[in-house]
Structure 1
Amino acid sequence: MQRPANKANESETPVPTTRLAPSPTGALHLGNARTFLVNWALARQNGWKVVLRIEDLDTPRVKPGVIEQTIRTLRWLGMDWDEQAPLQSTDLTPYREAMSKLARAGRVFPCSLSRTEIAEAAGAPHDGSGESRFDASLRPSDFPRSFDDEGTNWRLVVPAGDITFTDGFLGPQSVSPAKSVGDFVVWTQRSQPSYQLAVTIDDHRQGVTHVVRGSDLVDSAARQTL
């Protein structure tokens, strides 16, 4: 369980908030249902606000009728929520604005290299999760300082060093995204934000203070902390 920083209003104590965030790519499987139940139970036990957010940006895999099916399943399992966020796909403006800020700061760059080219590049070993590490040596020499969504991938410049945070279940964590995945995609050639960017922006916008996830997603927690 990660506690992300909430900077929406640093002068006030944020309302403890968590989210249930299923993706409508198929029937809710047992592992996700278990995580959602633990998340929901912790929220209700501790008085947290619960936001339901349907993460539908993986458009090639989104299946008709699954959103309604997922909501019915969550309710059948006894879960409820205090707020339902709009579908991510209905408004990409917040993600484009974030990309523009990152571009102005020199934190992102367009990349047309294929997965094969990245995997074959020297110093780009496979991390075992289906994603090849993007080494810093593959970055372009100059970064554009404006975001132009022309149907190409954009990657985040990942700094060297460890990202440290405290997980409520696992305790202190230290992860180096630079070593595990390198510069990862934050905007896709489908003209949509990647999961890592979208979830970070949405957690901030929706005031999420507590994230409950599987232990296999500790690396994602480190990426989203960047």
Structure 2
Amino acid sequence: MSAPLLRFAPSPNGRLHLGHAYSALLNAAIARRLGGRLLLRIEDIDPVRSRPELVAGLVDDLAWLGLRFPEPPRRQSEHMATYRDALGGLARRGLAYPCFCSRGAVSARVAALAAAGRPVAADPDGVPLYPGTCRQLLPGEVDARRAAGEPHAWRLDMARALEAEPGPHAFAAFDPEGGERRVAANPARWGDALIGRRDVPTSYHLSVVLDDADQGITHVVRGRDLEAATDLHALLQRLLGLTGPRYHHHVLILDEAGAKLAKSRGSASLADLRAAGTAPAGIRAQLGFPDDVGR
């Protein structure tokens, strides 16, 4: 049996904060406890927000924390062909369809349905489910709009996907101390999820399952804010013929108001803390890790 393999996979759309530090250090601690290895993956599918200086910044922050990773790290931007092939395979099987709707158009359609007394359910993140507008388009119209170069994303046809893989669906969860259990999954609550963006032939959901399989990841350690997404990932793994890893979803680091730390809310970054004179040992102690974790 091969040694456990874990990954820490930040997105370079801002500087790392204490929440990222906790997740990275926990990954390192669990990898050590399991006798495994920890890889760094840079999830840079966003061509606009994933700027080179942010990639360099996160690598520098992790090194400052004392974390060491095998080189080179995997960069999602270098694997678009893999994602495109997988997306194309789902489309050819009738499990994915092009969506020409803008965010504004989707919001307007959801509002119209609500006004007509047909409210749309929300996904686990609280976002209204896509109402299926483009799923109803005739093949001829789809072909004509694509031939004309009209921008479009790709959505999973959840109904057809569940016909192809009716379940029951589940994923393996593990406890850092060694326990394991099966967790029932309900991918239907994500509706026709976005699996390919307008600007790149993938999404977080599609890329993450393909990357984990391609890298041979056996244990995924990530925040509880992604636990519900694992339902969708379990379905995608079955549709793509992939073996899923075991998952551990850890607690989140919250701010003084009880909200999750986030770059978009201006949470202090590790770079800010460094500039204020905080030492790496202080960060590790604050988050409850020994000084030698990751080394």
- Say yes or no: TM over 0.5: yes
- The residue identity in structure 2 corresponding to 1:131 is V
Contact 2:97 2:155 in 1 (8 A): yes
Q: Counterpart of 1:217?
A: 226
Separation of aligned partners in 2, 1:118 and 1:209: 41
CA shift in 2, pair 1:195/1:108, >3 Å: same
- The residue identity in structure 2 corresponding to 1:115 is V
Query: What are the superposed Cα offsets for residues 106-156 of structure 1, whole Å, 9 maximum, x if unpaired?
Result: 111111233314533445223462522135686336679x9x795311111
Q: Counterpart of 1:32?
A: 20
Separation of aligned partners in 2, 1:76 and 1:67: 14
Q: Counterpart of 1:53?
A: 41
Q: Choose which of 156, 165, 169 in structure 2 pairs with 1:163.
A: 169
Contact 2:173 2:183 in 1 (8 A): yes
Q: Counterpart of 1:119?
A: 110
Q: Counterpart of 1:173?
A: 183
CA shift in 2, pair 1:123/1:83, >3 Å: farther
TM value normalised by structure 2: 0.63
Q: Counterpart of 2:129?
A: 133
Q: 5 Å matches for 1:1-226?
A: 13-113=1-101, 114-120=105-111, 121=113, 122-127=118-123, 129=125, 131-135=127-131, 139-140=135-136, 151-158=151-158, 159=162, 163-169=169-175, 171-179=181-189, 181-226=190-235
Q: Which runs of 5+ in 1 are unaligned?
A: 1-12
CA shift in 2, pair 1:118/1:201, >3 Å: farther
Superposed CA RMSD in Å reads 2.8
Alignment size in residue pairs: 211
Contact 2:12 2:58 in 1 (8 A): yes
TM value normalised by structure 1: 0.80
Query: What are the superposed Cα offsets for residues 166-210 of structure 1, whole Å, 9 maximum, x if unpaired?
Result: 32149542232312x201000011134111111111111111111
CA shift in 2, pair 1:45/1:84, >3 Å: farther
Contact 2:98 2:153 in 1 (8 A): yes
Separation of aligned partners in 1, 2:167 and 2:99: 23
Which of the two has greater helix per residue?
Answer: 2
- The residue identity in structure 2 corresponding to 1:132 is P
Deviation at 1:50, TM superposition (A): 1.9
CA shift in 2, pair 1:128/1:18, >3 Å: closer
Q: What SS does structure 1 have at the residue aligned with 2:227?
A: helix
Q: Answer with 181-190 or 148-157: which moved more.
A: 148-157
